[in-house]
Amino acid sequence: MLLKNAKILAVDDDQDVLVAVKMLLRPEVKEIVTEKNPEKIPFLLSQNQFDVILLDMNYKSSLHTGNEGIFWLRKIREINKTVAVIMITAYGDIDLAVRSVKEGANDFVLKPWRNERLLETIESCYQQSIAGNKQGTKKTSSKAETSLLGSSEAMQDVLYKIEKIAPTDANILILGENGTGKTEVAKLIHQKSLRHQKPFIHADLGSLTESLFESELFGHKKGAFTDAREDRAGRFESANEGTLFLDEIGNISLPQQAKLLTVLQNREVTRLGTNAPISIDIRLISATNAPIKEMASQNQYRKDLIYRLNTIEITLPPLRMRGNDVVLLAEYFMKSYGEKYHKNLVEIDEKAQQKLRQYTFPGNIRELQHSIERAVIMADNQAITARDLDLTSSIENPVMMVQENPTLRIDEIEKSTILKAIERHDGNITKAARELGLTRTALYRRLGKYDI
């Protein structure tokens, strides 16, 4: 047998089938993982590199009656294009099994199977998987897909759009609340694009001052201004032939919008301190949490720039609208932080899951991630419990704090508010100052005042 290094995943809601598969394969393969719930597939693929997946065609509790196997086969192919998938089906569904091969399955076996036939099929598909790895064609789940884990209808719409538009050069505008995963979506689009071997350049426009905007984006010549000690290419030049991701596009001023529009129209940049235009070839992706269409109607944002930015528009749903995805994401973060803090956590118990589903997560995935990190630290056993989850401490309303703690002094309230604003923006002083209605200088003075 050539399966001694193979890692196999078997998914079937019949426990007897899983036991039989495990007994057959345990002596033959490196590792066999079994799972009854197909909704765990995205999570399992994010945590493991399987060589072969045995996938049942039907699940009793599924909403996709008669086509469950096809549905989950497509999900697997969205995450990993080349992992070998073998469909398991009854004789009466053989037509559906043949269709699954057309949909991307490597092979199928009929229940009840002959052990020799099943092993031969697995071995053949495993060899195909190895060949795909040697050719460099096997794509694994990446961190960019973390926020996209889940099977909610809202995320299926997003994934459908990504698959359709990624291979094109269309400009994309990603909308959504803070923490919904806009940056991860931009990276995933680049990974799936024809430019994936070229640079992906990220520019956070919210952190650029007026004086740095042109230099950072368009570059400068040595001596163009006081601190220009050498020639420097801007983000547009650095992204040439690749993808440029302009984050916080809604935060730039009208003069900055005009300069950006000129570059996008002419497809060329001119470094500060020169008059020589440089041609650029980029794929542009932009993102914002600002209502730029409403801003345009109030003459706060240029409509012609919006037309340039959003050939295709993707709106990411907030976590509170993604149903059970919150649990799948929580399990992903539990595993990740369990490894970081050397804790052997295997599950989130039912009461904790219920607590996760009931909370609205105003900070979205970012808040969930921080909450699960704290829960992992607090957990005593192999499971995260409801007691370990503190889902109110990370984002609080200062007004409510005053009502609930009438004895707090004003300076304590201000310090607490500043700390929470900085935490929400992952230490980005510019964004925290903007939320608090302060200048960066004023915020730095308060940081010194409170010894933060």
CB 173, CB 290: distance < 8 Å: no
CATH T-level fold of 398-449:
Arc Repressor Mutant, subunit A (1.10.10)
Torsion of CA 247, 253, 258, 259, to 10 degrees: -60
Alpha helices in 288-397 (DSSP H): 292-297, 303-309, 325-340, 350-358, 364-378
User: Which residues have a Cβ under 8 Å from the Cβ of 9 and sit 6 or more positions away?
Assistant: 33, 34, 35, 44, 48, 50, 52, 53, 54
Positions in the chain short of pLDDT 50: 1, 62-65, 134-144, 393-408
Q: What is the phi/psi pair of residue 195, to 5°?
A: -100, 15
- For the domain made up of 319-388, the CATH class stated in words is mainly alpha
User: Which residues have a Cβ under 8 Å from the Cβ of 158 and sit 6 or more positions away?
Assistant: 148, 185, 314, 316, 317
Domain-by-domain residue ranges, the chain?
A: 7-134, 145-315, 319-388, 398-449
Instruction: Please write the tens of the pLDDT for every residue from 110-149.
Output: 777 888 878 888 887 887 766 555 444 334 344 445 556 7
Per-residue confidence (pLDDT) for residue 407, from 0 to 100 = 44
Per-residue confidence (pLDDT) for residue 62, from 0 to 100 = 46
What is the residue type of 407? Answer: T
CB 30, CB 16: distance < 8 Å: no
Q: How far is CA 345 from the centre of its chain?
A: 23
Q: 261: part of which helix (H) or strand (E)?
A: helix 254-266
Per-residue confidence (pLDDT) for residue 63, from 0 to 100 = 47
Per-residue confidence (pLDDT) for residue 145, from 0 to 100 = 53
Per-residue confidence (pLDDT) for residue 61, from 0 to 100 = 52
CB 310, CB 172: distance < 8 Å: yes
DSSP 8-state class, residue 43 = H
Per-residue confidence (pLDDT) for residue 301, from 0 to 100 = 92
Q: 442: part of which helix (H) or strand (E)?
A: helix 440-449
Instruction: Please write the tens of the pLDDT for every residue from 249-284.
Output: 998 889 999 999 999 999 999 998 889 999 999 999
Domains 145-315 and 398-449 share a fold: no
Per-residue confidence (pLDDT) for residue 440, from 0 to 100 = 67
Per-residue confidence (pLDDT) for residue 396, from 0 to 100 = 41
How far apart are alpha carbons 228 and 272 in whole angstroms?
10
Please report, for residues 38, 39, 139, the alpha-carbon distance to residue 76 in angstroms, rounded to integers and kept in the order given.
11, 11, 12
Which residue is listed with tokens 């804790």?
Answer: 343
170: which 2 tokens? Answer: 């269309």
Per-residue confidence (pLDDT) for residue 59, from 0 to 100 = 74
How far apart are alpha carbons 119 and 4 in whole angstroms?
12
Q: Which CATH code is given to the segment(s) 145-315?
A: 3.40.50.300
88: Cα within 13 Å, side-chain hemisphere: 23
CB 289, CB 116: distance < 8 Å: no
CB 60, CB 26: distance < 8 Å: no
Instruction: Output the pTM of the full model.
Output: 0.58
- The CA radius of gyration of the chain, in Å to the nearest whole number, is 26
Beta-carbon neighbour count of residue 40 at 10 Å? 15
CATH T-level fold of 7-134:
Rossmann fold (3.40.50)
